[in-house]
Structure 1
Amino acid sequence: MLSRVPVPHAAARKIQGMILSGELRSGEKVPSQREFALSLGVSRASLREALLTLETLGLLKTEPGRGTFVSQGTPSASRNMARWRYADSYPVADVFETRIMLEGRIAGLSSQTLTEIEFQALEAETDTMERNWESGDLLANVEADLEFHAIIASACPNRMIVDLYQSLRNKLTETQIRPIPITDPARMRASIAEHRRIIRALRSRDVAKATSEMQNHISNTARCAGISIASSVPNSD
């Protein structure tokens, strides 16, 4: 139900491949949406979503009145994040704060129900994140990150919380994708280490530890995006 990021990744992956291979060169304008969608065999709506994803990752840049261009240099060299897509609904800080509260609780609850197969899947996704960051496959890196969090959410025994997570998922996952262009190698190494600490806490069946490790990870991701949020939600009791 929660597996994989809900965007047209086939088109995004094809375009990323064209960029990495040099078929689409640095600074080059991409074809019109009508022409590009036709050549890729996808709908224009799917293409637009794919282009937005690649722009968020820092691989493309849209210039009003001119079109969409392949970014020059590596994403981390550009040091710019894309416009927050949901600004008309919620500030990005609110979404990060919601993630800390919601995913922290999910991690704590899921620590009691995750199976050995799911633990192995979490480890595999973390390895995939690391491997694809090193190879420059940003889409695969992001897909593995999103799947990591989705596996944990899927194991949550509180189905109402799972439904809430699913209803907010597009906004929540956008906060995972958006900092990629300004994520340097040191921060990615730290993020991967945080994923491994989350796995260890989940394996220990320690609700408080699993909650705090997830909240700390999301807080650090927010900090990477220039937003300072406390890593834990105060207890109102």
Structure 2
Amino acid sequence: MGIAPASCLVRRERVREHRRREALSAFSRFDLDPKPESENNISYRSDQMGLCGFSLWVKSSASAAGADRRDGRTNGMMKSFERTRQPVPMKTAEAIHEMIRERNLKPGDQLPSQRELALALGVSRPSLREALSVLETLGLISIQAGRGVFVAEERSEVAPAESWRFGAHYSLREVFEIRRAIEGAAAFLAVPNMGPEDLDMLEEMSREIETAAANRDVVKVAENDVRFHDLIFARCGNRLFRDIYAEVRRFVVESQKVPMLERNRLAETAKEHRRLVEAFRAANADGARRAMEQHIRGAAERARIFL
């Protein structure tokens, strides 16, 4: 077996360093300095590794809004970027979903071109592509090569294999299996580290999930689901555990969206997060671990993966 060229080794090290920085900035939104050498408020950089959303909030929305104002393109959709601190791709996905609803677009209707969408929202093309990928995984749009982006038919039959875009890396089952193992442990470890503000944030996100589920707003459910799980890992108190999560997070986040193709079962997701909040408020570490493991099993089952 030959030795990898120096250029390959350099690229691998750069990828690892990029992921580490992305992880650190994700936790910075929770006022946590996970390592002495951490750099808070690292600005969002969309990439091809699927790490969208891991450098969260603060500079991402601010920089997008600032660029939009400088270019004289401020519009109604862009104002929402300035009001809330979210990852640019997720906020972009939310804006596109809102546009589909407001314009009452039907399945098969075509959306504006990617160039027009990026211009209207004042975001980069990589951020837009990541947002469209989110919407496609959630079953809201269909991206057809050479034709454009179309509103998708709501599917009554869930086909996880069709929605899972990381099959070349790991199967959906493998991701749910590792999630059950590490997220249950993270919930257990996070209980003693949850302060009053953390508990309030979990409560707020749980309510957002409940409201969004009732309105069948799958984008809002997905957004708050990701934030909820990020906070738990941010508070697990173990730097190595957080580093492991940083390495697999792009697969974890994608797996969180697949079960949401089952629109009629969004309420189950809401109930599972409510049970997690109750366990954290009761400072019940064993209860939090059990609730998390039950949540992962439930999500997997909705994706037709039986653990």
User: Which secondary structure does the structure 2 equivalent of 1:112 belong to?
Assistant: helix
| Aligned: 1:40 with 2:118 | no
1:142 is aligned, of 203, 210, 222, to: 222
Distance in 1, Cα, partners of 2:118 & 2:94: 14
User: Which secondary structure does the structure 1 equivalent of 2:150 belong to?
Assistant: strand
| Aligned: 1:208 with 2:286 | yes
The alpha carbon displacement at 1:64 in A equals 4.5
Distance in 2, Cα, partners of 1:161 & 1:226: 28
User: Which secondary structure does the structure 2 equivalent of 1:42 belong to?
Assistant: coil
User: Which secondary structure does the structure 1 equivalent of 2:192 belong to?
Assistant: coil
User: Which secondary structure does the structure 1 equivalent of 2:236 belong to?
Assistant: coil
The alpha carbon displacement at 1:12 in A equals 1.3
2:236 is aligned, of 156, 164, 167, to: 156
The structure having more radius of gyration, on CA atoms, is 2
The alpha carbon displacement at 1:45 in A equals 1.2
The alpha carbon displacement at 1:70 in A equals 0.6
The alpha carbon displacement at 1:167 in A equals 2.4
Distance in 2, Cα, partners of 1:162 & 1:169: 10
TM-score, normalised with respect to structure 2: 0.67
The alpha carbon displacement at 1:148 in A equals 1.3
| Aligned: 1:226 with 2:301 | no
Distance in 1, Cα, partners of 2:104 & 2:270: 31
> Which sections of structure 2, spanning at least 5 residues, go unmatched?
1-25, 30-51, 55-86
The alpha carbon displacement at 1:158 in A equals 0.8
Distance in 2, Cα, partners of 1:89 & 1:220: 23
Distance in 2, Cα, partners of 1:148 & 1:76: 27
The alpha carbon displacement at 1:20 in A equals 0.6
TM-score, normalised with respect to structure 1: 0.86
Question: Deviation string for 1:134-185 (max 9, x for gaps)?
Answer: 234322221111111111111111111012112221110111112212231x
Q: Kindly provide the amino acid, as one letter, of the partner of residue 134 in structure 2.
A: T
User: Which secondary structure does the structure 2 equivalent of 1:61 belong to?
Assistant: strand
Show the counterpart of 1:170.
250
Change (3 A) 1:80 1:67: farther
Partners of 1:76 and 1:183 within 8 A in 2: no
> Which sections of structure 1, spanning at least 5 residues, go unmatched?
230-237
Change (3 A) 1:76 1:121: farther
| Aligned: 1:61 with 2:152 | no
How many residues get paired? 225
Where relative contact order (Cα < 8 A, 6+ residues apart) is larger, the structure is 1
1:102 is aligned, of 182, 186, 191, to: 182
User: Which secondary structure does the structure 1 equivalent of 2:163 belong to?
Assistant: coil
Q: Kindly provide the amino acid, as one letter, of the partner of residue 67 in structure 1.
A: G
Change (3 A) 1:55 1:19: same
The alpha carbon displacement at 1:57 in A equals 1.3
| Aligned: 1:88 with 2:168 | yes
Partners of 1:56 and 1:178 within 8 A in 2: yes
Change (3 A) 1:69 1:224: same
Partners of 2:188 and 2:288 within 8 A in 1: yes
The alpha carbon displacement at 1:221 in A equals 0.3
The alpha carbon displacement at 1:102 in A equals 0.7
Partners of 1:76 and 1:180 within 8 A in 2: no
User: Which secondary structure does the structure 1 equivalent of 2:123 belong to?
Assistant: coil
Percent same amino acid among aligned pairs? 35
User: Which secondary structure does the structure 2 equivalent of 1:179 belong to?
Assistant: helix
Show the counterpart of 1:194.
272
Partners of 1:198 and 1:210 within 8 A in 2: yes
User: Which stretch shifts more, 131-140 or 10-19?
Assistant: 131-140
